[in-house]
Structure 1
Amino acid sequence: MSVQTMKAARFHAFGGPGVLVYEDAPRPEARAGEILVRVRAAGLNPPDWYFREGFTSLPDEWRPKVDFPAIPGTDISGEVEAVGDGVSGFSIGDEVYAMVNFPEGMAGGSRGYAQYVAVPASHAAIKPVGVDHVHAAGAPMSLLTAWQFLVDLGHEEANPLQPGPHVPVPLDGRTVLVNGAAGGVGHFAVQIAKLKGARVIAVASGKHEALLRDLGVDEFIDYGKTTPEDVVRDLDLVVDSLGGPTSSRFLRTLKRGGALFPVFPLGFDGHDEADTLGVTVSATQVRSNGAQLAELAPLLASGAIRVAIDSTYPLADVSKAHARAAEGHLQGKLVLTVD
């Protein structure tokens, strides 16, 4: 029996953006518990380039085995093409969006940079009404990250990043600083914090001020002109969407009893200082969750949460999209359009 094919963006060895090639690949099928989605748009996220590079930022013991050729991508929006056994709640033709198989399938399985992807039904939700595929595909990973950090963890899986589970903190009436506020996670974090009643301070480069003011931030700090940790004090929460070793600089901006949430916690070395200051440092690994995407869909449909798009690229130009990501300073999300 001949194998059906599709177009996909794959890589046959680890490397830079140039290793990504647009080529024919086997088309997946919907197994039990899955839906097959005809992809119309696919969002880009940092794990996509971590995957392409070989997870070099992760400790050796955390690096999953990769079978080549590999297809990156978790975030998709499209139409249901087929429904597997045991699936309810989805029908052929439904427009859906999803974060697919993350983190459990981060190095293999059916992936999003393709014309078709098999999605566990529990990871998908009906696409927000009135939101096009590009904007829907820009939401899942970044929006779920912000939501799971700030509002609802959404699962009871063991936390690989710290001894105990991540616990969101109350936001109503609190002062929250978001670093990297114009990026994928950051621009959702400022909107969620505002929705939940917080006073929000956004830190980003000056070119992003208009967007962030439009999203409702109460105060804007241009890090190119002002060092935020030198001028801000008595915060209740800092969400550092950049994370890493430099997150510890925000500890002194927090009041005793406050919290620092580094979205990328690897390399953080300020735990002793945090203990001395009485500050909680906590992080979590975002996980696929179709029920949360269904909960968030009305907020996206109403415009209460908006998806900012930096730029779009055809799937065939995937290497150009990854090169744009490497430049940094994104305003919102990068999205691939899929013919």
Structure 2
Amino acid sequence: MRLYDNEKKPWHCQKSYFTYVHKPTNKQHAGNWLCYSESKGSIFCFPYKFMTSGCSSKSSEQGFDDWKSASNLLRQHEESSSHRQALISPSMCKNKAKRVASHLVKEMETEQKYWRTLLERIIEVVKFLAERGLSFRGSDETVGSPHNGNYLGLLELLAKFDPFLAEHTNAHANQGRGHKSYLCEEFINLIGSSILDHIIGEVKKYKYYSASLDSTPDISNVDQLTLTVRYVLPSGPVERFVKFLGMEGHSAEQLTQGLLDFLKENDIDIKDCRGQSYDNASNMSGKYSGLQARIKELNEFADYIPCFAHSTGGAVGSAPGSRTEVPKFDPVTDRPHICSPSAPG
């Protein structure tokens, strides 16, 4: 019992403090991690008290006795990382037959399994959309809406055949107010980092590579500097998009520094570069001070090859303006033998 200032009615420890609601399933369970001390008149979290030796926090030494705010304080402690760590401490899990409060660990393992099962489905949907270059969001983020985008749409489709996902969606979709975000961008960043590490690992393993840089504006008209590498695997040559590099400007010096910074950051030796390919702009292909010339100074074996696509595109774009008359062409008699691989020499 505790009497607060300016209040006539005392506050008592309540039975409801010893239960909790499992959020994913909305089921009520006994809060077996709590114990009440009659001598101190306080509630203690005994896994936290015994597994955090040397800790001087109030929850481990004095317990909870603020009955007016007990519900919020206990919920905050229950959701804290220190409380969870105490439950799954290696000293508790070392021996299943002798562990302290094995039923508490079982409850924690059940919750972990629940969220891991959910994340497996989410990650597969993220991978499916990302590797195909499809958009994630739609014009709204409401489950059940035909305009909620590919991400939520695929999860809804899976839920029709997956009872677990269907139950989770029915229990938690479209809750709360304001902006809802069902897409954790952290998953995309983690997957991207994993792919980047894999590509860099292959480049280091097979040693020699060629590099290609080009800039292109995105939808907001901000230039993105793309880096592509080519190298040879036992199965044959491959070309990989690596990442968008930071772009300080379009000068040859700035482009060179951006490429070298990336190689240094990932411990890739510029001396192992055996080729470089860019467009025909002077800052890229300049013979004396272009990007290719600066790389050539650092590595004489990094031969420069102009980008065939840029060269062809430039030729096609300039051809119509090179002459005023277009000769007549008969598709039957004037065969384009020069373009045929089997044409006579």
Q: TM-score range by the shorter chain?
A: under 0.3
Q: TM-score, normalised by structure 2?
A: 0.20
Larger CA Rg, structure 1 vs 2: 2
Q: 1 or 2, which has the higher helix percentage?
A: 2
For CA contacts below 8 A with separation 6 or more, give which structure has more relative contact order: 1
Q: 1 or 2, which has the higher strand percentage?
A: 1
